[in-house]
Structure 1
Amino acid sequence: MSSTSSLSREECHEIVKRHLNTDDFELAWFAVAPLSTDLKGFMGDHLKLRVCVSLGDREREGAKTTELQFFVKSVPLDDIFRRNLAMSTTGYQKEILFYGDLLRDVQKHLLCSEYEASVYLGTVPKCYYMRPDLLVLEDLALAGYHMLDPIKPLDVRQCECVLKALARLHATSIVFEEREGRRLADKYPLLTEESLFYRKPDSQLYMAHSANRRDAHDLLDLVPRFAPGTPHNRNLHSLLDTTMESVYELLKPSDKYRNVLCHRDLWLNNMLFAEDAKGELSVRLLDFQTLQLEPPAHDVVTFLHVTTMRDTRRAHGRQLLEFYHQTLAEVLCQHDLNIDSILPLQVFLQSCEETEPLAVVITVYMVQIIMLTLQKDVDLESYVSLRKDFVKYAYQHNERFRLRMTEALEELVETCLMPRLREQQR
C-alpha cells in the first residue's frame, strides 16, 4: 500500500497535534507507505506515516519545517485471506480497548509521570490515534529500538528485561482493581474472551491450528527418539491431538489464581529492544490483539518456553521467576500495595509449575510459525492448508528449526504425553 488513502489530511493533522501538544503548525504534506517489503505478520499491515509540518509563525518567511514519522498498524487491505483472518477475531477490538478506554481507566491510578502513565509504566509505545481498523503509534525505531532475530533464543539478560516490562504491565491492572475495588473483567468482559485459541471448526484460525496438529504428527516421527518403530510411537500419536487441543481449556481466566492483564503472544516479533550509552537494555511490547485476563504465570512461563532453550530454563528458570516476582512487588510497593496480600511468591511459583503443560503445548504450536521464514509473496491461504511438505523439508534441512522443534516435541512428550500414557496404563 503506497497511497495516502488509509489516513485523511484531517486525521494526520490530529495525529501531529497530539504528538506536538500544540495546534501551532501547518501540515505541508504526508505519505503512508509499507514499513518493509517483508511479510511481518498474519494479522495486520505495518506501515510508516511521514508528515512534514511548518512550525511557529505561519506567515513569517522561512518558517521552520520538520518531518515527523509514525508507525501505523492497519487491518490488512490488499490480502483478502489475511483481512478475513484478522477480522474474524476480537483482536482489533482488544487493541483499541487497550490504547483507549482501558488506558484511561488504569493511568489515573498510576503514580508516575504523565508519559509513563500513558504507556503503561513505560512498557508499550505511545498511541496518537486510533480507528477500529487502524492504530497510529510512536515510531520506536527513532529512539533506537529494533527487533531481534526472531529465531535466536534470548539470553538471561534479555529475559530479565522482558520480565521487568511484563511485571510492570501486569501491575497496572492490579493497581486499578485494588484502587477501584472491582475486577477489570466486570467492566470489560471482552478481556475474558479468547481471540487466538478458540474452538470454532469453520474459522480460519482453527483450521490453522488443525494444520499445526497434523504437522506435529509428521514432525514427531522425524525425531529419532520417537520415530516409527520406537517403543511408544503409536501411543504418543494416539494422545497427541487431545493433548494439543487441551490449549482451548487451559487458556482461560482462573478461578484459583489472581488474573492480570496478560499479553498472551510474547514472541520476538512482538517486542523491540534498545540499549543506551551505558549499556542498559530496555524493551517495548507490541501487538495486544490477544490481550486477556489470566494468571501472570501464563505470560511468564509461556514467554520463557517460546523464547529460550531448555538449558537456559534449567539453569536460570527459578532465578528468572523470582526476578519477575520481585519486580512486581517493587511496582506494587510504589503504589502502597503489598505483594504478599495479592500474589505471594510461593503461590506464584505454584501457578508457574501448573502452567508448564500449557506453555509446552503452545510452544509446539508457536515454533512451527516463528521458526519458518516465508517469502513476502507467499500465498498464505495455501500455506496454512497445504504446508505439510514445507514443514517436513524445513525439519530435514534447517538446523535451527530442527533443534528448536525437536526440543519442543521432547518437552511435550516428557511433560504431557508420557504422564498421560502412564496414567492410562495403571
Structure 2
Amino acid sequence: MLLSRHECVKILENLTNGKSKLLAYQVVRDDTAIGYLGDYYALTISCCNAEREDIIHKKQLFIKTLPQQSAEVAKEAIFRKEAWFYETMLPKMQNYTKVKWSPFCYYTRPDLLVLEDIKLKGYRAVDASQLNENHLQQLMRSVAAFHAASLIYEHQTEVNIGVAYGDQLLEVTVASEIAWFTTGLSAVLAAVRSLPQYQGAKELHFIDNQLLAIMEGIYEQAEPSIKYRNVLCHRDLWIGNTFYPSEEDSGAALLVDFQTCRYTPPAQDLSYCLYMNLTSAYRREMEKSCIDVYYNYLVENLTEFGLKAEQLLTKAELLESFEEFRLFGIVYRAVAATIVKVPAAFVTNEFKYVDRSGVILDYMKTNQGFRTYMEECCVDVMNMAIDRAIM
C-alpha cells in the first residue's frame, strides 16, 4: 500500500491543523500526469470535524512518488533531493514570503511527496510552445519571490544556504561526469558543424578547436559563484514545471519539481526561464522587460521585510551576471533539445548515455520542424561562442 492509515492521519493533521478526524482514504493512479522523475496519484481523504462528527468533508491531494519501475540510483538521488527541499527548505522559506510561489506540501518521505492539488485551485499548465507576456509577468513574480525568500532567510537567520545545506544541493544534471549532458554537448557540436553557414575553413577551425571548450564553461556556471551573490535557484523552470492562475489574475505562477535546485546567482534562473521558454526572436523582444519586472518584484518582496535590494543584489550586478549566464541558458537549451524535441522512442540508454550525434543529424534531415528548432539553438550557441572568443 502506498500510504498507511497512520500516514494519512498525519497528512490530515498537517492539512487541517488537527481540526479533523480521518474516516477513510483512497489512492488512485493519475495517468494524466506524466513525468520522467515521478509516478503520480490522487489521494482522497474523507474526514469529519474533530468536534462535530456529523460534518463530513472530502479533501483531495496530489501524490508524487519515485517511479515504481525505476532501479536507477541517479533518479533516486534526484527524488530524495526534492523531498529534502519540501521537508526542510520550503517551510523555512515560506516564513519569508507573502507571495505564494509553490504548492503546499503536507507530507514527505524519501520516496514520496503529498502536495496540494493545484489544479483544483485553478492553476493550469500552459498549452502552448512558449509563454505569452502575461505568463512571463506571473513567472517573473514567482521567481522574484522565491529568490527574495532565500535572501531574506539568510539575512534574518545569518545562515548561508550553500554552507549549511551544500551536501543536499549537489549538481545532478550539468557536470562533466554526467553522461546525458556530455553526450548532448557532443551532439550539439556535431549539429553546429553540419550547418551550411559554418562550412568555411575559419568557421570549421573554430568549431573543431574552440567551441566545445567555450560550451563547457556551463560546468563552472552550474556551481555556486565566488563573484556574484548566490540564492537558492530552481534551475529547471521550463514550461512544464510552471503553473499559472487565470489570464485575468495578476498573481504569481506556481513553481513545481525542485529536484535540480542549486545555490547559484539569480541570473541562472532568469537565463533558463527566457531561453528555455521562448523562441530566440521573442526572447530578444521580451528580455529587458522581463528582467525589469523581476527586479521590481524582488525589490518589493525585500522591502516588505525591511530590506534594501541595493544592499543585497543591485540592478547593475543582476544585469552583469545575466550577460555572463547567457551561456547557461543557450547551451542548456541546445543540449535539452536533443532529448525533449525528439520522439520518445529515440531516447534509449545508448542514445542518452553513449552517443546521440548520428541520430540527431539524421533526424535534422528528415524532420523540418526539428531542424528549424535545432538550427536556431545552434546559431545562438555559435554567436555566443564567437563573442566570448573575441572577449
Alignment of 1:200-211 (within 5 A): 200=177, 206-211=178-183
Q: Of 363, 366, 370, which residue of structure 1 is paired with 2:340?
A: 370
Q: Of 239, 256, 274, which residue of structure 1 is paired with 2:210?
A: 239
Correspondence for 1:272: 243
Correspondence for 2:301: 331
Correspondence for 1:51: 44
Instruction: Name the SS of the counterpart of 1:47 in structure 2.
Output: strand
Q: Deviations over 1:260-301 (max 9, x none)?
A: 11111111111112206x454641101111111111111112
For 2:65 and 2:288, how far apart are their aligned partners in 1? 39
Residues 68 and 155 (structure 1), Cα distance of their counterparts in 2 relative to 1, 3 Å cut: same
Q: Of 197, 210, 213, which residue of structure 2 is paired with 1:225?
A: 197
Alignment of 1:155-170 (within 5 A): 155-170=132-147
TM-score by length of 2: 0.89
Q: Deviations over 1:320-339 (max 9, x none)?
A: 11111111001101111111
Q: Report how far residue 40 of structure 1 moved.
A: 2.1
Are 1:289 and 2:280 an aligned pair? no
Residues 57 and 281 (structure 1), Cα distance of their counterparts in 2 relative to 1, 3 Å cut: closer
Q: Report how far residue 138 of structure 1 moved.
A: 0.8
Correspondence for 2:325: 355
Q: Report how far residue 246 of structure 1 moved.
A: 2.2
Instruction: Name the SS of the counterpart of 1:130 in structure 2.
Output: strand
Q: Of 73, 76, 81, which residue of structure 1 is paired with 2:64?
A: 73
Q: Report how far residue 370 of structure 1 moved.
A: 3.0
Contact 2:12 2:20 in 1 (8 A): no
Are 1:84 and 2:53 an aligned pair? no
Structure 2's unaligned 5+ residue stretches are none
TM-score by length of 1: 0.83
Q: Of 74, 82, 85, which residue of structure 2 is paired with 1:95?
A: 82
Residues 158 and 217 (structure 1), Cα distance of their counterparts in 2 relative to 1, 3 Å cut: same
For 1:182 and 1:18, how far apart are their aligned partners in 2? 27
Are 1:344 and 2:314 an aligned pair? yes
Q: Report how far residue 45 of structure 1 moved.
A: 1.9
Q: Of 379, 395, 399, which residue of structure 1 is paired with 2:364?
A: 395
* 63-72 or 46-55: bigger deviation: 63-72
Correspondence for 1:409: 378
Structure 1 letter corresponding to 2:108: M
For 1:52 and 1:323, how far apart are their aligned partners in 2? 40
For 1:318 and 1:379, how far apart are their aligned partners in 2? 36
Residues 48 and 419 (structure 1), Cα distance of their counterparts in 2 relative to 1, 3 Å cut: same
Residues 339 and 52 (structure 1), Cα distance of their counterparts in 2 relative to 1, 3 Å cut: closer
Structure 2 letter corresponding to 1:232: E
Residues 301 and 67 (structure 1), Cα distance of their counterparts in 2 relative to 1, 3 Å cut: same
* Identical columns (%): 25
For 1:35 and 1:144, how far apart are their aligned partners in 2? 20
For 1:135 and 1:340, how far apart are their aligned partners in 2? 37
Q: Report how far residue 344 of structure 1 moved.
A: 1.4
Correspondence for 2:21: 25
Contact 1:191 1:291 in 2 (8 A): no
Q: Report how far residue 413 of structure 1 moved.
A: 0.5
Q: Report how far residue 167 of structure 1 moved.
A: 0.4
Residues 392 and 149 (structure 1), Cα distance of their counterparts in 2 relative to 1, 3 Å cut: farther
Structure 1's unaligned 5+ residue stretches are 113-120, 201-205
Are 1:40 and 2:35 an aligned pair? yes
For 2:388 and 2:317, how far apart are their aligned partners in 1? 24
Are 1:260 and 2:253 an aligned pair? no
Structure 2 letter corresponding to 1:77: Q
Q: Of 12, 19, 30, which residue of structure 2 is paired with 1:16?
A: 12
Residues 68 and 401 (structure 1), Cα distance of their counterparts in 2 relative to 1, 3 Å cut: farther
Instruction: Name the SS of the counterpart of 1:190 in structure 2.
Output: coil
Contact 2:302 2:309 in 1 (8 A): yes
Structure 2 letter corresponding to 1:84: V
Q: Deviations over 1:151-199 (max 9, x none)?
A: x122332222111110000000111111123422232223553222223
For 2:51 and 2:304, how far apart are their aligned partners in 1? 45
Instruction: Name the SS of the counterpart of 1:7 in structure 2.
Output: coil
For 1:10 and 1:263, how far apart are their aligned partners in 2? 32
Correspondence for 1:116: none
The number of aligned residues is 390
Q: Report how far residue 416 of structure 1 moved.
A: 1.1
Instruction: Name the SS of the counterpart of 1:68 in structure 2.
Output: strand
